[in-house]
Chains A and B, each alone.
Chain A
Amino acid sequence: MSRRTLLASGVLLPALLLLLVLVSLLLGRYPRPPGMSVRLLWEDEMAWELVTNLRLPRICTAVLLGMTLGAGGAVLQMLFRNPLVEPGLLGVSQGAAFGAALSMLLFQGSVVLLPLSAGTFALSGLALSYTLARHLKFGGWVMRLVLAGIVVSALFSSGLGLLKSMADPRRELPELTFWLLGGLWGVSWADVQRMVPIVVPALMIIGLMRWRISILALEEVTAFSLGVAAGRERALLVIAAVAATASVVAVAGLVGWIGLLVPHIARRLLGADARRSLPGSLWLGGIFALGCDNVARSLTAGEIPLGILTSLIGALGFAIILLRGTKVARE
């Protein structure tokens, strides 16, 4: 492991994220775009209130969201031995969205039931995709997993469509629709408090086990020969990744592409070894989500839904990586 990449994954990227957080605190439309000065923050009480009660929780949420989706995507890609996997492709996000929508309509978005319902359906989405992929009689493992994920995601999104059509068009439907677009407006410290107890331990488990994740990316019999209790460790990591994803989706709605794009960039920059690519995905995910959310909230007077931005940038970025990737492979 070269010193340069170690420095990047352990020092440079976290420092960059911290810097972006500090800049984001000042960035916004108050008192006028593009933001306030550090002095104003100390002198103007309104500015202080704004930053600590509105911007800071929102920034924390964006960072947690990006870290979770980035690291979660990296974990799922390695465990399923498939670089095309992301929570959105395996029925996890759609499952979480369906579960959250269900609890919104049935229990008016109870703060306890919503993440729970999102988590349950996210995990069952993953289980369904995995089981279906194992039984498909078509294509290799990579192909089958993607196909199964498409099927399961489609099932959940049709269920979601049904829920939408049943929702009260004046009250519930707008709320549901905006939540589904993905965004962080109106995020409060209460939301952060709800995410942290799940997201932080889950990310810690993933971070601590990162070298094992590389072993679990080998074929099953090889991992067995290396003395790894593959079933147990894989289940623990998948549950950690999915639980964290479900709890951020419950707050932020459907924010796509981070989990697919970010691990690819991390591997390009830092190499495949999860000792570096996993922390890399974590930090880059935070940077990417926070950067996008900054644009989402300060580019226009209104607000661009975050999910739309991440999809736009993510899809373009992924296309660029794929185009450049073939060149590298040919060399």
Chain B
Amino acid sequence: MKNTPPILRLERIAFGYLEDMPVLREISLTLATGALTAILGPNGGGKTTLLHVLLGWLKPRSGALLVNDRSLASFSHRERSRLLGLVPQSEFIPFEFTLLEYVLLGRAPYLGPLEMPGGRDVDEARRALARVGLTSLSERPVTHMSGGERQLAMIARALAQQPAILLLDEPTSHLDLANRRRVRDVLRQLVADGITVVCTTHDPALAADMADALILMRAGEIVAAGPIENTLTSEKLSATYDLPVKARRVEGEWLITS
């Protein structure tokens, strides 16, 4: 799968939790493969909803979600979970799993309901831990970890699924600077390894810091989508946030002010 990344395409996807209150209005787009796409927009604009539609968790009211021209709805649970991994914004874990036990849960797509993970699964979980740089913590309980470590732990769990596409919900928004950088570096490395990464964020500076492409969203509609050079403009950001925002490139770095 690494050689030919699957292409995820949305055709006129509409979604609403209630009949007459659309959250997503007729969204059509094709995800950039082998790149990091940020879904950017104000809070309540439908970003997480879109992410959950991409995962197949929320069923669109109309429209089609296609993976290499095949409807995602026709995928079995197992097929889907080998293709798409999810890192939720945060996860309350009520029991003291060790980090390795927690990451091992990511092997579920490869094991039947009555199977136990074996040596190969443990190896894969350890590899995922190494990729996020948490090998030394593998026997520590996840419940005792810091916010940054937990974010990386969730990423490792999703990586143990060996997904072609990784979906992340606000992966860095509640982290401090150092952890933000750590998560960003991990995500950039995953993209370099050929994984398609999609994450939501409400912060243009964060998006500018790590994304290759943007999907700008406001009130359930796409304001603009495409490579970051074309989409991270003062005009488009202002339209997204409904207030004047300036985006400039100064000495190769994005500078965003409002």
Stretch of A115-123, A195-203, A216-224, A287-295 at the chain-chain interface: A216-224
Question: Min CB distance, B217 to chain A, in Å?
Answer: 20
Q: Are A271 and B108 in contact (CB under 8 A)?
A: no
Stretch of A50-58, A227-235, A242-250 at the chain-chain interface: A227-235
Stretch of B97-105, B145-153, B230-238, B246-254 at the chain-chain interface: B97-105
Q: Are A219 and B94 in contact (CB under 8 A)?
A: no
Q: Are B114 and A224 in contact (CB under 8 A)?
A: no
Which residues of the other chain, A, contact B193 by a CB distance below 8 angstroms? none
Q: Are A221 and B86 in contact (CB under 8 A)?
A: yes
Would A215 and B116 be within 8 Å (CB), given that A229-B77, A271-B96 are in contact? no
Per the bound structure, the CA–CA distance linking A329 and B141 in Å amounts to 11
Contact of A227 among B81, B101, B144 (CB under 8 A): B81
Question: Min CB distance, A210 to chain B, in Å?
Answer: 8
Which residues of the other chain, A, contact B81 by a CB distance below 8 angstroms? 225-227
Q: What bracket does the count of chain A residues touching chain B fall in?
A: 20 to 34
Scan residues 153-173 of chain B and give those whose CB is less than 8 A from a CB of chain A.
Answer: 158, 161
Stretch of A76-84, A98-106, A307-315 at the chain-chain interface: A76-84
Q: Are B94 and A217 in contact (CB under 8 A)?
A: yes
Which residues of the other chain, A, contact B117 by a CB distance below 8 angstroms? 211
Question: Min CB distance, B46 to chain A, in Å?
Answer: 16
Which residues of the other chain, B, contact A173 by a CB distance below 8 angstroms? none
Q: Are B114 and A226 in contact (CB under 8 A)?
A: no
Contact of A273 among B55, B82, B91, B98 (CB under 8 A): B98
Q: Mark B107-127, 1 if CB is under 8 A from A, else 0.
A: 011010111110000000000
Per the bound structure, the CA–CA distance linking A272 and B99 in Å amounts to 11
Per the bound structure, the CA–CA distance linking A11 and B64 in Å amounts to 53
| B80 on the A face (CB < 8 A) | yes
Q: Are A211 and B115 in contact (CB under 8 A)?
A: yes
| A265 on the B face (CB < 8 A) | no
Scan residues 68-94 of chain B and give those whose CB is less than 8 A from a CB of chain A.
Answer: 77-78, 80-82, 84-86, 88, 91-94
Per the bound structure, the CA–CA distance linking A319 and B79 in Å amounts to 46
Count the B residues whose beta carbon is within 8 Å of the partner chain — how many?
A: 36
CB-based nearest B residue for A274: B95
Q: Which of B52, B77, B91 has the most CB of A within 10 A?
A: B77
Which residues of the other chain, A, contact B204 by a CB distance below 8 angstroms? none
Q: Are B115 and A78 in contact (CB under 8 A)?
A: no
Q: Are A225 and B91 in contact (CB under 8 A)?
A: no
| A209 on the B face (CB < 8 A) | yes
Which residues of the other chain, A, contact B94 by a CB distance below 8 angstroms? 81-83, 142, 217
Contact of B98 among A225, A229, A267, A271 (CB under 8 A): A271
Q: Are A226 and B105 in contact (CB under 8 A)?
A: yes
Q: Are B113 and A81 in contact (CB under 8 A)?
A: no
| B106 on the A face (CB < 8 A) | yes
Q: Are A215 and B108 in contact (CB under 8 A)?
A: yes
Question: Min CB distance, A306 to chain B, in Å?
Answer: 29
Q: Mark A122-166, 1 if CB is under 8 A from B, else 0.
A: 000000000000000000001000000000000000000000000
| A212 on the B face (CB < 8 A) | yes
Which residues of the other chain, A, contact B113 by a CB distance below 8 angstroms? 209, 212, 233
Per the bound structure, the CA–CA distance linking A271 and B104 in Å amounts to 15
Q: Mark A238-276, 1 if CB is under 8 A from B, else 0.
A: 000000000000000000000000000001000111010
Would A217 and B114 be within 8 Å (CB), given that A224-B57, A225-B57 are in contact? no
Q: Mark A65-81, 1 if CB is under 8 A from B, else 0.
A: 00000000000001001
| A38 on the B face (CB < 8 A) | no
CB-based nearest A residue for B122: A1
Per the bound structure, the CA–CA distance linking A222 and B167 in Å amounts to 11
Q: Can you list 28 A-B pairs with a CB-CB distance of less than 8 A?
A: A78-B95, A83-B94, A209-B114, A211-B111, A211-B115, A211-B117, A212-B113, A217-B93, A218-B105, A219-B91, A219-B92, A221-B52, A221-B55, A221-B57, A222-B88, A225-B85, A225-B86, A225-B158, A226-B108, A227-B80, A233-B113, A267-B95, A271-B96, A271-B97, A272-B98, A272-B101, A272-B141, A273-B98
Task: Give the top 8 A-B pairs by smallest Cβ distance, nearest first.
Answer: A227-B81, A225-B86, A272-B95, A226-B108, A227-B77, A227-B109, A273-B101, A272-B96
**Which residues of chain A have a CB within 8 Å of any CB of chain B?**
1, 78, 81-83, 142, 208-209, 211-212, 214-215, 217-219, 221-222, 224-229, 233, 267, 271-273, 275, 329
